[in-house]
Amino acid sequence: MTPWTLTAGIDAGTSAIKVAVVRSRGGTDGQVLATNLQRIRRRNVRDVIQGAFDDACREAKVTPKEFDYVASTGDADAVTFATGHFYGMTTHARGALHLVPGATAVIDIGALHARAIRMDARGKVLDHRMTSQCASGSGQFLENIARYLGVPIEDVGSVSLQSNRAEDVSSICAVLAETDVINLVSRGMSTADILRGIHLSIAGRLARLVRSAGASGTVALSGGLSQDAGLVAALRELLAQEQTKGRVKASVLEVQTNPSGALAGAIGAALVAGYRVEQFRAQGRTIGAAAVGVPS
């Protein structure tokens, strides 16, 4: 019988560290035993990585030396004890497919940029598009706006959904959008309407990204903003309007989310690592995370 494989995926992002522990067999999807997400918040990044990894191990009831492979994704240099590193588009595609079976594309909304990734049924990346770092379609941009408006970032989505009329906000760049927000506040515009306008602005950029990547069918969301209900609603609204108005000839895009969307990169890294271990076994080679310095 094919032995079980125990892997960990560590997604080192700009604002948060995500860890997933996965048990699989035969290189196929397995069971996610534990996940952990910790904000960096001006702390030492390597300390946060160690803490998140240790917490995930405790939840999964495993020790570091039991892992067959520890995979990093995101900032490779930050994870000093990884067995190997996988590119972020690969891990988000694989993780999104695990979280939303049948997805043909994923929109990863990170702290500094957003990217649309089109993949096949195995999670292989077929095409992608990415915003620039200065674009107004990122998590950091929305967090800055929320801070200025005095709204906790976790409440932004629910406040946006209370809007009666969205205010127009620039979708060209973050600087112009922030200027628009300042002007709207000075004019006494509703916080809910401003946030709704921000969400529509971001959603417009995301819709263009996923269309330009040639996506069709089910689109999963990953990254920190994948659970923002206001943004999800705005994106679904814009994509539906495109179809209704007949301005887009492409197939209908259906946006789906998963509560673990922010962890897609870490889960995907662990799953790809499991496949890598099976490849080594098939070749008669061995590889173990303990041999490359995983701390005990």
Q: Along the 296 residues of the chain, how does pLDDT read in single tens digits?
A: 678 899 999 999 988 999 999 999 876 778 999 999 999 988 899 999 999 999 999 999 999 999 999 999 998 889 999 999 999 999 999 999 999 999 999 999 987 788 999 999 999 999 999 876 555 557 778 888 888 899 999 999 999 999 999 988 866 566 677 788 888 888 989 999 999 998 998 898 899 899 999 999 999 999 989 999 999 999 999 998 887 776 555 567 999 999 999 999 999 999 999 999 988 888 888 775 443 334 43
CA distance 236 to 269: 28
The per-residue pLDDT for 168 is 83
Beta partners for residue 130, in sequence order: 115
CATH 3.30.420.40 fits 101-257, yes or no: yes
Check if the beta carbon of residue 29 is closer than 8 Å to that of residue 101: no
CA distance 1 to 78: 37
Q: Which CATH number is 4-95+262-292 given?
A: 3.30.420.40
Check if the beta carbon of residue 31 is closer than 8 Å to that of residue 276: no
**C-alpha radius of gyration, the chain, whole number:** 20
C-alpha distances in angstroms, 116 versus 104, 134, 215, 237, 251? 11, 17, 9, 18, 16
The per-residue pLDDT for 133 is 53
The per-residue pLDDT for 290 is 41
The per-residue pLDDT for 111 is 78
Residue ranges, comma separated, of all CATH 3.30.420.40 domains in the chain are 4-95+262-292, 101-257
Check if the beta carbon of residue 119 is closer than 8 Å to that of residue 127: no
Query: Both tokens of residue 76?
Result: 């490779």
CA distance 91 to 70: 13
| pTM across the whole model | 0.89
Largest CA distance in the chain: 69
